[in-house]
Each structure stands twice: as C-alpha cells, then as structure tokens.
C-alpha cells in the first residue's frame, strides 16, 4: 500500500469537509452561527486578519464562453484566524457582515483541527445544514403550490 496515497485521500476528505462546511456557513445567518458556535468550546485563537470590508470585481462572460468583461463590484467582508494549535481558517462573506466573516474563519480553522472537527460538524454544521434543507424544502413546497399548468387545446377544424 502506498502511504502517500493514504495521505492524499485524507487530505481530499479534509478539503471536502471544509468545502461542505463553508457552503452551509455561507448560507446561514449570523445569529444562527453564533448560537451554534456557543455549544462548542472555542479554543484560544488569534486574528491573523481583523475582520474588514472591501470590494471585489465581478467578472462575466457573454454566453459563458465569450471574452470576459467587468460586470461590477460587490462588497465583501473577510477575516483570517489561527488557532493556538496552528490551524488557519479564512472567512469571506458577501456584504458588510464582519462578525459573520470572523465566525466562518473560526469554524474553518476548527474543521481542520483533528480535536474540534467532530464537535463543529455535530454542533454547528449539521444543525445549520438541517435548517437550510428544511427552509429550501418549505420554499419549494410554497412555490409548487402556486404552479400553473398551461396546455393547448386543439381545435376540431378539419
């Protein structure tokens, strides 16, 4: 067995776990993340980058494969955190929510930590994911209730 292959698989699983957690956190509200994060014993950490607001340029392409063009700018908040054990987490959020960016950065670092990854998944990511799925399901049902089926009647002219 190739020991390097096992390392690559573990790294791939870790990156997939981070990606899934970031998806859920980005679509969750600041208050919900804070409420769930209180249940996890947050270790000592330092801010590598204080939460700050800035702008990013949005680019687009006509037809998806045309020449790129500058569509406009969007406001973002970002933060970076390092745990005492060395893991570094990053948080980026559309809008001006510095607190959310910092909490996402903290969760990103915790998800990378062997000691805290399970607790963050169980107490933060899983409840937020369940709420997100429930909300999407509710919205889909509300939308389906307003669905109109159009059909064409064929006239009997001959």
pLDDT, averaged in runs of 10, over the chain (158 residues):
67 88 94 93 92 95 87 96 95 96 96 92 94 91 84 68
Q: Where are the domains of the chain?
A: 7-132
CA end-to-end span of the chain, whole Å? Answer: 76
Can you give the pLDDT at residue 145? Answer: 87
**CA-CA distances (angstroms) from residue 137 to 29, 132, 146?**
18, 9, 15
Beta-strand ranges (E) seen in the chain are 45-61, 68-83, 88-94
Can you give the pLDDT at residue 1? Answer: 47
For 90-123, write each residue's pLDDT tens digit: 999 999 999 999 999 999 999 999 899 999 999 9
User: For residues 52-88, b (16+ Cβ closer than 10 Å) or e, as one string?
Assistant: eeeeeeeeeeeeeeeeeeeeeeeebbbbbbbbeeebe
**CA-CA distances (angstroms) from residue 141 to 1, 46, 134?**
49, 44, 11
DSSP 153: P
């Amino acid at each position: 067995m190739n020991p390097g292959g096992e390392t690559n698989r573990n790294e791939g699983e870790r990156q997939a776990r981070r990606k899934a957690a970031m998806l859920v956190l980005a679509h969750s509200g600041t208050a919900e993340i804070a409420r769930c994060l209180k249940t996890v014993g947050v270790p000592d950490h330092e801010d590598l980058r204080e939460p700050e607001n800035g702008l990013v340029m949005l680019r687009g392409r006509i037809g998806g494969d045309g020449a790129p063009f500058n569509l406009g700018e969007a406001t973002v908040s970002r933060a970076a955190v390092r745990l005492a054990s060395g893991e570094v987490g990053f948080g980026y959020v559309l809008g001006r929510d510095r607190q959310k960016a910092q909490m996402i950065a903290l969760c990103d670092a915790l998800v990378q930590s062997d000691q805290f990854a399970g607790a963050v998944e169980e107490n933060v990511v899983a409840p937020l994911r369940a709420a997100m799925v429930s909300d999407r399901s509710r919205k889909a049902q509300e939308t389906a209730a307003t669905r109109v089926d159009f059909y064409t009647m064929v006239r009997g002219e001959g």
